[in-house]
Structure 1
Amino acid sequence: MNLPKGAVLYESGEPIRYTYFPHDAIVSLVETMKDGRLVEVTMFGREGLFGLLSAFVSREALGRYVVQTPGTASRIAVERMHEAIRTYHSLQRLVSSYTEALLAQAFHTVACNTVHSVEARCCRWILSTHDRIDQATVPLTHETLADMLGVQRSTVSTILRTLQTSGLIVQRRGNVVVTNRVGLEQAACECYGKIRSRYEKLLPGTYARLGICR
């Protein structure tokens, strides 16, 4: 199925009916504050799935699931997913490993949002998105990035200009082209490396499948 940019798949508290497996789309789990501000908790791409963790007990969405990068995905009814997990032990182990990696990602993201600079977090977000697509061009607007980082759009514009001046990216309308990935990793905070290492440990080959190898 197609997932258009900006589509909201679940709102906080809504019943979870399907588990989604993104192919090339990227979906963010965000918390919406009373004043309308957004805070990203984690993101999902083709390395995993979403709509399962909270569906084990409450069957309610933890927050808003919104499509950041348009693409396609497969989905399966949560009841059938639960049945498959009970039936196939190898799938159960795989889902457990992914769940731990996802929780670690959310843990580091929360810490990152608290203590690291906006510029470092911006680099982490661009890298995390770049990991999940097959091209140097990342579909990314200033508005989207500002929402995910919880800052003003003008702040994002200033940061992206700085990264471009440093030769790490090139800005194009609605896109960011990664021109120096190594330099971008060096400019990112430590959380990016920690998250990546956890995925590599729990789900070996994840980044090889994503086409991002060192």
Structure 2
Amino acid sequence: MSLITRIVRSAADGDAAPPYASNRLLAALRPDALAALAPHLVLVDLPAEAVLFDAGDDVQHTYLPCGPTQVSLLVVTADGQEIETASIGLEGAIGGVVSAGFKPAYGRAVVRTPGHAFCIPTQKLEEVKTATPLIADMFDRYADVMIAQMMQLAACNALHPIEQRVGRWLLFAHDRAGDEPIRLTQETLAQMLGVQRTTISAVARTLQDAGVIDIGRGKVTIRDRAGLERRACECHDAVEAHFRRVLPKVET
């Protein structure tokens, strides 16, 4: 079942304008298109490790993460291992991106970095897309970007050494966190990348010794973005370049 956590602000609240600029898909919409979508958006809390939907669930809600909030799409193996196949943050949306109706989820969606997200019933989103072609086009383009990310990650996981893969993941997280530390444990990163925790610990020490990152308890601070980019593979840049081509009006 889809999880909606504590409501922070609904469309009926009049105390302050909802922070639509904190999700770049919403920020890129023309005022008339945003006006068609806004009455149905609710700002909610997404706590760390919350499961938004699981394999086989009917995806009843769509989430648009804000700020540093980050959600992982995972494939869960028969023996319970979780492998990340995509990561979604303030640049996108998760659940119901393409269509409504009973479309069972193939994998699990888990909140990795807690924060806020705008939430809309998937059926209502489908109605708005039908009535507003501009919104439908934007979500179709974003679906293309999601497929590209999954394809690139499949190649990355098969071909690139673990230090480069860690660098790629941290670059995506840094894009979303900005100057704030990335809330992440080494155990979680090991699970997502499908390696042992000791392997991640060794990579983290190497990066910290090189002055690229600073490791705290459950947090990672990027100290040298350029240095991290040099140590990462080309996968982050490849996905970002495709994003800019497909969604040129959305900042990444």
Q: Do both share a fold (TM > 0.5)?
A: yes
Q: TM-score, with normalisation over the residues of structure 1?
A: 0.93
Match of 1:4 among 39, 47, 50: 47
CA distance in 1, matches of 2:61, 2:236: 29
CA distance in 2, matches of 1:13, 1:169: 38
CA distance in 2, matches of 1:205, 1:45: 17
CA distance in 1, matches of 2:58, 2:136: 23
Structure 2 equivalent of residue 41 of structure 1: 85
Deviations 1:127-175 (A, max 9, x none): 1111112324111110111011111111000000000111111111111
Deviations 1:43-75 (A, max 9, x none): 111111111146446521120000000001111
Q: TM-score, with normalisation over the residues of structure 2?
A: 0.79
Residue aligned with 2:177, SS:
coil
Match of 1:28 among 72, 78, 82: 72
Q: Structure 1 206/179 Cα, relative in aligned 2: closer, same or farther at 3 Å?
A: farther
**Is the radius of gyration larger for structure 1 or structure 2?**
2
Which residues in structure 2 correspond to 1:77-88 (within 5 Å)? 77-88=121-132
Residue aligned with 2:176, SS:
coil
TM-aligned CA deviation for residue 184 of structure 1: 0.5
Is contact 2:60-2:96 (8 Å) kept? no
Deviations 1:154-205 (A, max 9, x none): 1000000000111111111111110110110111111111001011111225
Which residues in structure 2 correspond to 1:95-174 (within 5 Å)? 95-174=139-218
Is contact 2:62-2:97 (8 Å) kept? no
1:197 aligns with 2:241: yes
Residue aligned with 2:91, SS:
coil
Which ranges of structure 1 fall in alignment gaps of 5 or more residues?
A: none
Residue aligned with 2:86, SS:
strand
Which ranges of structure 2 fall in alignment gaps of 5 or more residues?
A: 1-43
1:17 aligns with 2:78: no
Q: What is the CA RMSD across the aligned residues, in angstroms?
A: 1.4
